[in-house]
Structure 1
């Protein structure tokens, strides 16, 4: 499989190494203002860039009939536009707030716990996410996905970074050097706390999941998620 890497920072380099180990070829490494030269040779593109570049990267791939996997967060106000473009072009697109296989299992666990806890009134939910200081968006895309999972399965209506109302989930977003990503969900009552947590030890899990998704999307058309890739639906 020939891969275009859109975003060649720390994550892009880990994806490159894992892709090469799995027998794939890198035909484009794009950073900053680099051109898309070489994209035409790609079987798939993997976008781990920055919020300001994601829409351009995804659009260019879909316009050129290149399936695209995007793990860039912080641009989701344009997600519906990218879905519409994918459908218009009869393309293939996967966005994931987190491609880690473990995190996607964690998402399922979070949804299930939210369903249970929604029937028990004395608990108040809160979340914490911790990332490295280079992460540009807060809260993380993973935290937003977790919050949405709770909202979809409970009476909560939204999330907030501070001064959360009774129907909002408080997300405490912290930035600390050299933390790949830690996400915690707490259900607090006067008598106890229930906590579920995912701790990433390095970038390997995110990168492996993105490559697995790129392998899976070959020959497919449509808009998918990691639930499709891992058959978790």
Structure 2
């Protein structure tokens, strides 16, 4: 399979290594200093760039008739626009805040736990995410996805980074050293606490999941999620 890498930072380099190990070919390594030359020859593109480049990268893929997997966060105010363009161009698209296989299992557990805890008003939910100091957005896209998972399965209405009001989920963001990513969902009451936690040890899991998603998406049309890739469905 021929892959275009859109974004060639630390994540892009790990994705390149894993893709090559799995027998794929890299036909483009796009950064801020070069063009999209070679994109049209790709079977699929993987975008791990920066928020300011994501929309250009994704739309270029749709115009070139190349399915695209995007793991860039911080640009989702333009998601509806990209979704419409994908449908217009009959493209293939997967956007996820986190491609780690473990994190996507964590998402499912989070939704299942939220359904259970919705019955118990004595527990208040909060979240904490910790990432490396180079991460540009806060809270992380993964934390936002976790919050949405709770909101969709409970009576909580929104998330906030400020002091929470009733029915708001507080998210605390920390930026420390070279931490790949740690996310904790806590249900706290006066008598006990329940924690659901995922700790990434390195970037390998994110990169492997992105390559697996690209392998799955190649040749497909439509808009999908990691639930489709991994055949996951909350019960």
Task: Sort the TM-score into its range (normalised by shorter chain).
Answer: over 0.9
**Cross-structure match for 1:137:** 137
TM-score, with length taken from structure 2 = 0.98
Does the CA contact (< 8 Å) of 2:181 and 2:200 recur in 1? yes
The CA deviation at 1:40 is 1.4
Q: Which runs of 4+ in 1 moved over 6 A?
A: none
SS in 2 for 1:197: strand
Unmatched tracts of structure 1, length 5 or more: none
Question: CA-to-partner distance for each residue in 1:56-95, whole Å, 9 max, x for gaps?
Answer: 0000000110000000000000111111111111110000
1:181 maps to 2:189: no
How many residues were matched structurally? 233
Equivalent residue, structure 1, for 2:212:
212
* 1:73 aligned partner: 73
**What is the distance in 1 between the residues matched to 2:164 and 2:133?**
24
Residues 1:120 and 2:120 are matched in the alignment: yes
Q: Secondary structure at the match of 1:27?
A: strand
Q: Which runs of 5+ in 2 are unaligned?
A: none
Partner Cα distance (1:115, 1:196) in 2: 14
Shift of residue 219 of structure 1?
1.9
CA distance, structure 2, for counterparts of residue 54 and residue 33 of structure 1: 15
Matches of 2:16 and 2:8 in 1, distance apart?
9
Match status 1:111 vs 2:104: no
- For residues 183-208 of structure 1, give each alpha carbon's deviation from its aligned partner in whole angstroms, at most 9, with x where no partner exists: 00000000000000000000000000
Q: Normalising by the residue count of structure 1, what TM-score does the alignment of the two structures yield?
A: 0.99
CA distance in 1, matches of 2:109, 2:127: 15
CA positional deviation for 1:220: 1.1
